[in-house]
């Protein structure tokens, strides 16, 4: 039986990635995004941590749609920039959001940083909220990480965000934008987090499937 889960995102690639990983544990799952539900005012992501921002978005999704809701907050943490852009990754170069401008700014900021000091990691927190008893919500949060480094030019046509600049330690030689979807899912920060979360979501929603 089909199960609908809401993901607080308009990023088509992120929605497809989430559905692929969830489907391994929850066959028939359909992940709906912001463009698939009635419009609502998205909350301000003003927490200083990935976990805090993921919970803000998941709670808002549940409140507005009534569907079990998932939200993630992720970003690139660069050693030479003291962990930045971090939670500001998507809006690093200012509004409007632009992957291309973010990548250009990051390259400019690291222009004089030698290769041996270009270490970085992607971090991700994924929150799941569903209706609980007495009007409360049940919440789960998991985290994932992918270590690697930032290279000096954008390579690859896949992925999104900073993928074209990031080479993962587990797949040296290729940016995460040059990996296949399955290869990226296997090592990515979001993949690590979702593989932790997926069986928990499946267990939480199993009674609804059986009705």
Domain boundaries along the sequence of the chain:
3-210
Binding residues for substrate: 9-14, 74, 160-163, 184, 189-190
Token representation of residue 201: 């979501």
Tens digits of per-residue pLDDT, 27-67?
A: 888 999 999 999 999 999 999 999 999 999 999 999 999 99
Tens digits of per-residue pLDDT, 73-87?
A: 999 999 999 999 999
Instruction: Evaluate whether 75 touches 123 at the Cβ level (below 8 Å).
Output: yes
pTM, two decimals, is 0.87
Distance between CA 155 and CA 109 in Å, rounded? 18
Binding residues: 9-14, 73-74, 160-163, 184, 189-190
- For the chain, strand residue ranges (E) read 3-7, 29-32, 69-78, 119-131, 137-150, 166-168
Q: Which CATH number fits domain 3-210: 3.40.50.10540, 3.30.2270.10, 3.20.20.140, 3.90.950.10?
A: 3.90.950.10
User: Residues for the chain: how many in total?
Assistant: 211
Tens digits of per-residue pLDDT, 147-168?
A: 999 999 999 998 899 999 999 9
Grade residue 23 by pLDDT with cuts at 50, 70 and 90: confident
Q: Which residues are catalytic?
A: 73
Binding residues for Mg(2+): 73
Higher pLDDT, 133 or 187: 187
Distance between CA 167 and CA 161 in Å, rounded? 13
pLDDT computed for residue 207 by the predictor: 54
Distance between CA 10 and CA 133 in Å, rounded? 30
């Amino acid at each position: 039986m089909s199960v609908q889960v809401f993901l607080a995102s308009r990023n088509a690639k992120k929605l497809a990635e989430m559905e692929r990983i969830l489907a391994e544990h929850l066959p028939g799952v359909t992940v709906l995004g912001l463009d698939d539900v009635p419009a609502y005012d998205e909350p301000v992501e003003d927490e200083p941590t990935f976990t805090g921002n993921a919970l803000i978005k998941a709670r808002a999704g549940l409140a507005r749609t009534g569907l079990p809701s998932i939200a993630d907050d992720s970003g690139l943490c660069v050693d030479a920039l003291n962990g930045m852009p971090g939670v500001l990754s998507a809006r690093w170069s200012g509004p409007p959001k632009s992957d291309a401008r973010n990548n250009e700014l990051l390259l400019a900021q690291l222009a004089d940083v030698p290769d041996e000091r270009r270490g970085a990691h992607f971090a991700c927190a994924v929150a799941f909220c569903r209706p609980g008893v007495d009007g409360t919500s049940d919440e789960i949060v998991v985290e994932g990480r992918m270590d690697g480094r930032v290279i000096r030019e954008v390579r690859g046509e896949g992925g999104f965000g900073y993928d074209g600049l990031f080479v993962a330690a587990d797949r040296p030689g290729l940016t995460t934008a040059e990996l296949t979807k399955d290869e990226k899912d296997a090592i990515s920060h979001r993949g690590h987090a979702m593989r932790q979360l997926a069986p928990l979501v499946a267990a939480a929603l199993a009674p609804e499937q059986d009705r």
